[in-house]
């Protein structure tokens, strides 16, 4: 990918870049599109005053997003046959916050949870609980 990135950075116009990407095949094309998207997104984050992400975090996001897009439309069985990605602890100077939530439209019930870990992977804080909303739209608004 580094070779393609260098080629793209030397191009003189967006049209040149687009033409080059459209000539790529399937997976390579998707990876390039996601790479440019994440690169642009990171640039905007820094421009708006946020701290830049670590390289390994950007690489993980790039790979995960590209794979997610490539898997769209695959059957559940195909998706289940791939090895699951394992959680990785944050770098030493960071904490990592993981959260999730779920909602069952037929019962109006849902739940949420989170865990915060330090650079050693040790739990700093965690929590979980139910939600008591009657419909999906109200759940999403909270």
Host H or E run for residue 130: strand 123-131
Q: What's the CA gap between 42 and 75, in Å, rounded?
A: 32
d(C-alpha 107, C-alpha 124), whole Å? 33
> pTM for the full model?
0.47
CB 56 within 8 A of CB 33: no
How many angstroms separate the CA atoms of 92 and 118, rounded? 8
CA distance 24 to 7: 13
Q: Provide the residue ranges of all domains of the chain, joining segments of one domain with +.
A: 2-81, 96-141
Q: Which two tokens stand for residue 111?
A: 């739940």
Tens of pLDDT along the chain (142 residues) come to 778 778 888 988 888 888 888 888 888 888 888 888 888 888 898 988 988 888 888 888 888 888 888 887 666 555 566 677 787 888 888 888 888 888 777 777 888 888 998 888 889 888 888 876 555 555 455 4
d(CA 24, CA 37): 16
């Amino acid at each position: 990918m580094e070779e393609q990135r260098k080629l793209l950075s030397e191009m003189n116009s967006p049209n040149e870049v687009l033409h080059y990407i459209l000539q790529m095949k399937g997976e390579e094309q998707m990876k390039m599109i996601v790479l440019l998207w994440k690169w642009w997104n990171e640039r905007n984050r820094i421009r708006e005053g946020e701290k830049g992400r670590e390289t390994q975090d950007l690489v993980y996001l790039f790979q995960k997003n590209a794979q997610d897009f490539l898997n769209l439309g695959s059957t559940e069985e195909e998706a289940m046959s791939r090895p699951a990605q394992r959680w990785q602890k944050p770098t030493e100077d960071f904490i990592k916050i993981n959260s999730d939530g779920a909602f069952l439209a037929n019962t109006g019930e849902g739940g949420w949870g989170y865990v915060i870990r330090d650079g050693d992977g040790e739990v700093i804080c965690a929590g979980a609980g139910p939600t008591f909303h009657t419909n999906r739209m109200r759940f999403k608004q909270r």
